A and B are shown apart, each in its own frame.
Chain A
Amino acid sequence: MNERETQEFLQQLLEKHKAGRLTSAERFKIPPQDMPEQDPASRKHNIKEVALGYTENQARLEALRCLGCKKAPCIDGCPVRIRIRDFIAAIADGQYGKALAVIKENSLLPAVCGRVCPQEVQCQEKCTVGLKFKDPCKAVSIGRLERFAADLDSDNASIPAVAPETGMKVAVIGSGPGGIVAATDIRRAGHDVTVFEAFHKTGGVLVYGIPEFRLPKVIVQKEVDVLKKMGVKIVCNFVVGRTRTIEQLMKEDGFLAVYIGVGAGLPSFMNIEGESLIGVYSANEYLTRANLMKAYEFGRGADTPIAHPKKVAVIGGGNVALDSARTALRLGAEKVYLVYRRTEKEMPARIEEIHHARDEGVEFHLLQSPKRIIGDQNSKVTAIECLRYQLGEPDASGRPRPIPIEGSEFRIDLDTCIMAIGSAANPLIRQTTPGLEFNKWGYIVVDDNCKTSLEGVYAGGDIVLGAATVILAMGQGRIAAAAINEYLAKKKKHFDGL
């Protein structure tokens, strides 16, 4: 359909919709709207965003695919329980401001979540339309609609209202998605919030981890600007635990409550031979050099070097692995292999990113995993020796256990190898915060309100959950903020009563 035909088709549907006569059968017939995107051949040579966003007509057509189910099962699939049915109905009606307001009741970073949430295993997995077609990719594109509504508010006109100043100081450690959300909600209650960030730039994983082509930095910057406009103080280059400890913040610097949202942040390695060879990176290092430090601009204003490889293997099957693989392409790699020990079905990455990576030419090596890494006399990596795998019975994660096939060794020649196999708990807070309880993996133990074993100290995101997602970190930031606001309200009552 060309633009004019689309317009006519939409008008017919809208008339019926307004009259309450658009049947489910007719809604099923509306073709799922594809996301306009940069052409794969050209986009792999630039770092601009791949997915370009729906046009207004596309968004309204997609919104009309929603059946408006009474039970709205999609909401159960959303970690922060956005009223999905209602915001989609608002888009269908052309009330985009209202749609965004509905989203913002529960999610403060819709422009981010619309882009990075794994919708196909959350809201879209439960969508009745998707179930009808037996394919979550044919469900209503909730994430794309969320992004559409968020992007229309490009100058972020809606600054949340702040209650009268309470003068009570709260420290938020980490400026990632959890920290941003916690800081917003705590500041809304009128408290004096300071966000401490270890890096010289704010945004956490949203700026060092997720590449520009998937989440433009300007979107994250806008969210941080909102915090500043609300009166939140932001201190960069400040490592809590080292520059000041949590105890010092609370006992000497007057912070009454603390939210720890530092992320997991200690990359895992496989513990195989050759992992310290030159050219073997953790995905964190590779992405940080490329994204945060703009190594792709080396010698043109950026000073951080990065390998410019010809052949790259990325080990892992999550979003971080795909981000690394696609970043390698953009840095000029001729061949990029994604080596994953299960099959595509088990990959934790977003389906859309798997498709994007494949379109851009990333070669998938499935049911394979490295046994050792091989280097030359200068300790530069030259190859990996892999084993082939088959799938066995489900393991603790519920996914089939990958079983190595003995004697199946083979080599992949390469000059860069990126380990994207997850991360472990960063020991810094643990080493410097006596009395804070951790589990055996080094993650902070919290109750349902994200409260830790120390009074006034709350925690959420990856340092509690292990490697999770942006939306889960945001959800916990929210819960913790509500708990902190309640805690401070009680404290204030107590002071006032004295």
Chain B
Amino acid sequence: MSHKIVSNSRLSENVFTADVEAPLIAQARKPGQFVIVSVSSDYSERIPLTIADTDPGRGTIRLIWQRVGKTTAELADLQTGDEIANIVGPLGKPTHIENFGMAVCVGGGIGNAPLLPIAKALKQAGNKIISILGARNKQLLILEYEFARISDELIITTDDGSYGRKAFVSEPLKEICQRTPKPDIAFVIGPAVMMKVCCEVTKQFNIPTQVSLNTIMVDGTGMCGGCRIEFDGHPKFVCVDGPEFDGHKVNFDLMMKRLNAYKDQEQQAYEQYKTHRCKIGLNSQEDLSR
């Protein structure tokens, strides 16, 4: 089964999106689920990616990813009409959606992508939605418009104050938790450190908090255990037990260290790829026209 890219664009300096043909996944996918992608061959690395949206009618799924290493760079270099070798999914347990009442959705950086379908589904189920979206600066903020459409209240923060409020997402989150009535549930998706800090905030206010984890995976079906985290003192597999977990029980410190397990080799592969690209005259590094 081939997976043709039907359209693609760049959302910010290092964040890209593509609509890709994957009719069965488009049909089956529910909010909270992800896919595993390997770009060019049977020996390309398998990486988990968020499904940000789907179009079952057209048979496509929308992928959003950040360029951080070889595989994500390779993916960013593909053009409309190119094919992705392998996509498998949808994987992971779907998000449990119901009318909780008031839900606060906190997204950091690329985390806005998996958060969007969850926020949409929560809205549809009748929840009042408060969204807090954070980014390092204005250029890196993604999906603001999409969140504005479904949020009863939308708060934007940037680290440098170039847009919205100059703050980390945890500050407005704390203020919202202090309101009466306080939120009934929180969904927090973003970098591990951001999820950790937000969970510390919501814990003080006893607000149940779901996080969605993006760990290193190989198969994505429970077979390898590479994605395991420490949850409530016990190992859990992100691919089959998650990717969503009660954020108050996740050992984020350990998870952050495990994410760096292959840092050197990943760096080496990325450098090698960049050199190779230069040699073959591919240089879309600063090509913002796409």
Q: Kindly state whether residue B234 has any CB partner on chain A within 8 Å.
A: yes
> Whole-angstrom distance from the CB of B40 to the nearest CB of chain A?
9
Contact A242 B235 (CB under 8 A): no
Answer whether A278 and B257 are a contact pair too, CB < 8 Å, given A237-B1, A271-B234. yes
The docked-state distance in angstroms from the alpha carbon of A115 to that of B269 is 36
Set of chain A residues within 8 Å of B46, measured between Cβ atoms: 200, 293, 304
Set of chain A residues within 8 Å of B258, measured between Cβ atoms: 276, 278, 379
Q: Kindly state whether residue A216 has any CB partner on chain B within 8 Å.
A: no
Contact B88 A237 (CB under 8 A): yes
Contact B71 A238 (CB under 8 A): no
Contact A303 B70 (CB under 8 A): yes
Nearest B residue (CB) for A423: B223
Contact B91 A288 (CB under 8 A): no
The docked-state distance in angstroms from the alpha carbon of A269 to that of B237 is 12
Answer whether A275 and B235 are a contact pair too, CB < 8 Å, given A303-B43, A303-B70, A305-B265. yes
> Whole-angstrom distance from the CB of B267 to the nearest CB of chain A?
10
Contact A299 B89 (CB under 8 A): no
Set of chain A residues within 8 Å of B1, measured between Cβ atoms: 235-237
Set of chain B residues within 8 Å of A269, measured between Cβ atoms: 225, 228, 235
Contact B222 A243 (CB under 8 A): no
> Whole-angstrom distance from the CB of A406 to the nearest CB of chain B?
24
From 289 to 334 in chain A, residues with beta carbon under 8 angstroms from any chain B beta carbon are 289, 293-294, 297-299, 301-305, 307
Answer whether A305 and B266 are a contact pair too, CB < 8 Å, given A243-B90, A266-B223, A276-B258. yes
Set of chain A residues within 8 Å of B218, measured between Cβ atoms: 285, 288-289, 293, 304
**A-side binding surface: helix, strand, loop or mixed?**
loop
Count A-B contacts at CB 8 Å. 130
> Whole-angstrom distance from the CB of A415 to the nearest CB of chain B?
12
Contact B257 A426 (CB under 8 A): no
From 397 to 453 in chain A, residues with beta carbon under 8 angstroms from any chain B beta carbon are 426-428, 431
Q: Kindly state whether residue A75 has any CB partner on chain B within 8 Å.
A: no
Q: Kindly state whether residue B25 has any CB partner on chain A within 8 Å.
A: yes
> Whole-angstrom distance from the CB of A118 to the nearest CB of chain B?
23
The docked-state distance in angstroms from the alpha carbon of A278 to that of B263 is 12
Set of chain A residues within 8 Å of B240, measured between Cβ atoms: 266, 426-428
Set of chain B residues within 8 Å of A284, measured between Cβ atoms: 223-225
Interface core residue of A267, A279, A281, A378 (most chain B CB under 10 Å): A267
The docked-state distance in angstroms from the alpha carbon of A265 to that of B91 is 16
Contact A242 B90 (CB under 8 A): yes
Answer whether A426 and B88 are a contact pair too, CB < 8 Å, given A275-B235, A276-B254, A303-B43. no
Q: Kindly state whether residue A199 has any CB partner on chain B within 8 Å.
A: yes
Set of chain A residues within 8 Å of B228, measured between Cβ atoms: 269, 276
Which one, A236, A279, A426, contacts B221 given CB within 8 A? A426
The docked-state distance in angstroms from the alpha carbon of A285 to that of B89 is 19
Q: Kindly state whether residue A349 has any CB partner on chain B within 8 Å.
A: no
Closest 3 CB pairs of A and B: A305-B265, A285-B224, A303-B45
Which residues of A are at the interface with B, using a C-beta cutoff of 8 A?
198-201, 208, 235-239, 242-244, 263, 265-267, 269, 271, 275-276, 278-279, 281-282, 284-285, 288-289, 293-294, 297-299, 301-305, 307, 378-379, 426-428, 431
16 contacts between A and B (CB under 8 A): A239-B91, A243-B28, A263-B223, A266-B223, A275-B235, A276-B230, A289-B224, A293-B46, A298-B265, A302-B43, A303-B269, A305-B45, A379-B254, A426-B223, A426-B240, A428-B240
List 7 additional A-B contacts (Cβ < 8 Å) besides A198-B88, A426-B222. A242-B33, A243-B24, A243-B25, A265-B221, A284-B223, A285-B225, A305-B269
Which residues of B are at the interface with A, using a C-beta cutoff of 8 A?
1, 24-25, 28, 33, 38, 41-46, 70-71, 85-91, 93, 218-219, 221-226, 228-230, 234-235, 237, 240, 251, 254, 257-258, 260-262, 265-266, 268-269, 272
